[in-house]
Chains A and B, each alone.
Chain A
Amino acid sequence: MELGFLLGSVVKIVAVLGWLYGLLQVMAHASRWVKIAGIVIAFGIIQIAFSLRIGNQAILNDFDAGLLFQACTMAMVALGLNLIYGFNGQFSLGQWGFYGLGAYAAAYVTYKWFNDRTSSALFVLLIGVVLAGLVILGLRRFLGRYYNLPVLSAFTLYLIGSAAAAAVAVFAGNGIASIVDPLFGTKEAPGLLSSDVALQVVFLLAVICAGIFAAEVSFLFGLPVLSLGSDYFGIATLGFSIVINTLMVNSDTILPFPEMKGGRGMIGIPKLTTWFWVFAFLLLVIVIMRNVIHSSVGRAILSVREDETAAKAMGIDVAGNKLLAFVIGSLFAGLGGGIYAHYIGFLSPGTFSFLAGFNPLIVVVFGGLGSMTGTLAASFGWMFFLEGLLRVLLGQLGTEAPTWRFVLYPIALLLLMLLRPQGLLGKTEWGFLRAPQVKPRPPANPTSDARPAASIAPAAR
């Protein structure tokens, strides 16, 4: 029985990695229809594996499904971290904090909608996210007129603007909610908003808003902190994780969210995450990530990692690109958090403790800094191998198994750092994630150079 289980686990790991390889290969195909067909088939294979049974056991049972879902969220979070750390060279330990922020924000919205039958949280978050985004973009445009602007002044202005947006959002959101809420109907006669379709839409909105919320927080936090230099940035982001975790533990006392129940953990989150949503968001993250990396923005981000001084000399806005990478990475973390919260249905601050926050870092380092394929493969391999296989193996040892796992991680990390610092996969990229082959352009029209030249002018800090 044990041997069979082990063999099955290894087969599953290989199969999932093969599935990933196939998905990425087919997405690189030139024909759009082949791409779409391939994605649908990749989705379908897993969906069928959930329901297809051999004997009395599903090919992928609930435990495997859990591992798969968590591997996908881990992949999102770790891809974000790889963008920040691997591609942009900013050593961040705050990724887990943004993950938790996204998880709690999304969970709170659907919790209020599903259990308390009120849309106030949704509207407050939605309006707040949109308004704060507009304020930040507008301020950025306005402050673009100045050079040598002190970071602290810019931060103060953004902070005041975002706080004002939040205040307006709370006021307006509750106002709109009081108008809309009667549509929920009563228990006996459910209204329009009580339907399952509405719940799915709210879930989608909640996850996206949570992602953007995390991104906006990361903008406000990153603006002053990214100017500190990489070591200090690491400590400051670690501090961010710790502060976020402290706020989670005290969410019902310091923060006015009694539903989050502080350190006892938030229960009763509707479990809305299905394979469809996980797959869709993972695909979204992969596509955004790949397109960012292989664009001019991505090259600017890479150049900041290689040499800040040289990048600045080439006219690249170093501070702006650091901030951009940090914000996009946090967006991914927030999305992953929203997905995770609705899969697990229970959020406790312990999940987001800063010790667990080293997990995405370990995944990124194992997969290889600056390798998207490596991060994806490491996320899946990590979940299935360490969480699945190793947990069962170590379970034979008795109650100390979880501690042993955490003894083995750092040893593996140390050995990796000493023996293969570029990560297991180095810089290999699979299929879709490889740099696209660009056809040589026709000879440029000399007058058409005017536009790109103007847009290179340094942007706002």
Chain B
Amino acid sequence: MNDTNSAIKPRRRWWRWVLGILGVCLLMSAVAIVDLVTLNRDAAAMRRAVFSAVKAEKSTHVQLSVGPVLLGTVRKGLGFSHHVPEEAKLALKGVKAASVGVYALDREVGAEERGRVLAAVDPVMLRRGWERLVVASEAKDTVMIYTQPTDDAHDPLRVCLAVCEGREIVIVSATAEPDALVELAARHGGRLARR
């Protein structure tokens, strides 16, 4: 009797471990999927500020975030392919993370609203440690670009931008590797010069 009971217990423990690991994997997959289809924190904060100033019905066309892990995996994968141009591989090397949101509105964003967008976005981004790099507002569109201060030109470059154009609002946040971008520009510049 006692021998039978002790033989059953190890099998039950083994299934619990499998279920536990599966549960963790499912949870991690769920988190990864949620991360993939939502904006990162800074882009989300910028989006909230923009939409606090623009009172219009919006629909999401694109909302996607890719982080260093996914981009690194794609880079490794492309490294084995000989059909992908070197410039594409270099461009991918230049981007460490990116978060993009494209939203369509039910009407055009008016000039006064675009002024309010700037007034709403600026304090939010400044509080989060971003510096305003460019603001440009013309008849029908407004562009705001923020960066995070770096100590050195070779440090990763973080950029967050919002574009309000007509009935569309685009929010992008990206981290770029300056050296790879410079190398890409140098190769492209040489090719253009030869033409």
Do A and B actually bind?
Answer: no
Q: Which residues of B contact A (CB under 8 A)?
A: none
Q: Which residues of A contact B (CB under 8 A)?
A: none
